[in-house]
Structure 1
């Protein structure tokens, strides 16, 4: 799946002041990141505040993303959950026309065993008409997918990659050392991008690339020296992105760039004035 190497942008879902979806802002964002060098788009992932969207809103966001993208880059669709049966039913009811792959998060809250995680993803992969990218993010799911679990699932013909956001480089190295040749090991942490590439990773699914697509194009495709410079340039800004939760920081950054507003849906709150000032100051410094 060479088309899913490089920078995937975990798109935010822009909202108007009344919390309705800002489709004009979504179009500006998609145009901005594609022109900036994004290799593919990730629609309705964690950064898209998917858990606060209704079923009908999810369908409309996906439809609009497909329309605005106009086949310029591949689209990966976020579809996951902790009720395996319900998730398979949702997959069966979804129109995958125009979707290259799905990104499916490890079951959260239930805290299943490693065998349970394997059985869950095997059911998802069997049901999905498009390839599956696994997503390991223990900070949100409260359970880690061990390297052995990922390597077992990598043998499934319809599982093509893993977005690894455990922050455990040793675990990532074990996956990289034994994974199939065509398996995609994708960084789920912007600051880990360069490190992941160095051990055989294929790229990043990025939050900051919503605002800095050119920086992540450099991180994934440039020379070693340029990659290091790009990696060091985002350290402070990346820290600010998560001080009040994701996507609070990145939406505020996009507001400063004039791409969309910074409204989020409860229980998240938009960035405080203090955080907004820090983000603006760091953006000015980088510029």
Structure 2
């Protein structure tokens, strides 16, 4: 799947003050991201707050992005959960016209064995009408997918990629070294993108790309010298985006950019005044993006 190499952005879902979905702002977000040169869009990843959207809102969100995207970029849709059969039912209930792949997180809360994880994904991949991207994020699921598990699943004909957010360099190296040639290793951590690129990773599904798409494109596609400079420019601001949970930080940043409101739905809460101030100050230091900040 060559079209899913490079930079994918896990789109935020902007909310109005009454916490309804703000489609005008979502239009601005998508336009901003596409103009930054990214390679594809990810709809309803974790950053899109799918845990607090209704089924109807998720469907409307996907339909809206299909409409404004106008087939310009490939689309990846997030469908995951810790109930294997419910994930399959959600897949059957989804219109996949215009969707190129699904991103599905390793089961959370249940803490399944590695065998359970393999069987979960095999069932989903057998049922999915589009290719499957695995997502390993132990910080959220409390269960790591081992390199051996990923490599086992990489042999399934409908599983094409791994979004790796374990932060375990050795694990990533094992996957990169032993994976099938056509299996894509993608970074699930913005600041690990350059490291994974060096070991054979071919892309990133990005959070900060909502705000700084061109910098993530540079990090993934430019010379290593330019990629390092892009990565270094985001070092100060990146941890602030996760200090009070994702997508609280990136929505605050984009509010300072004038793109959308900073609102999130409970149990998340908007950024504290102190964090908002620090995000604003860090953003003002980022070269070539100062003109986006309403200072």
What is the TM-score with the length of structure 2 in the denominator? Answer: 0.97
Q: 1:228-287, CA deviations, whole angstroms, 9 ceiling, x for partnerless residues? A: 111111111101101111100000000011111100000111111111110111111113
Pairing 1:49–2:64 present = no
Instruction: Please report the RMSD computed on the Cα atoms of aligned residues, expressed in angstroms.
Output: 0.5
Give distance in 2, aligned partners of 1:196 and 1:50: 27
Deviation at 1:203, TM superposition (A): 1.0
Any stretches of 5+ residues in structure 2 without a counterpart?
Answer: 291-295
1:160 counterpart = 2:173: no
* Aligned residue in 1 for 2:93: 93
How far apart, in 1, do the equivalents of 2:90 and 2:204 lie? 27
Which residue of structure 2 lines up, in the alignment, with residue 145 of structure 1?
A: 145
* Alpha-carbon offset, residue 123 of structure 1: 0.3
CA distances 1:130-158 after superposition (whole Å, capped 9, x unpaired): 00000000000000000000000000000
**Within 5 Å, which residues of 2 pair with 1:52-67?**
52-67=52-67
1:110 is aligned to 110
Q: Structure 1 segments of 4 or more deviating over 6 A?
A: none
1:204 pairs with 2:234: no
Q: Deviations over 1:163-215 (max 9, x none)?
A: 00000010000000000101110000011000000000011100000000000
Alpha-carbon distance between aligned partners in 2 of 1:285 and 1:198, rounded to the nearest angstrom: 27
In the alignment, structure 1 residue 6 sits paired with structure 2 residue 14: no
Name the CA distance, whole Å, in 2 between partners of 1:127 and 1:134: 15
Q: TM-score, normalised by structure 1?
A: 0.99
Partner SS state of residue 237, structure 2: helix
Q: Structure 1: state its 5+ residue gaps.
A: none
Aligned length: 287
The answer to whether structure 1 residue 194 and structure 2 residue 191 are counterparts is no
Which residue of the partner structure matches residue 278 of structure 1?
278
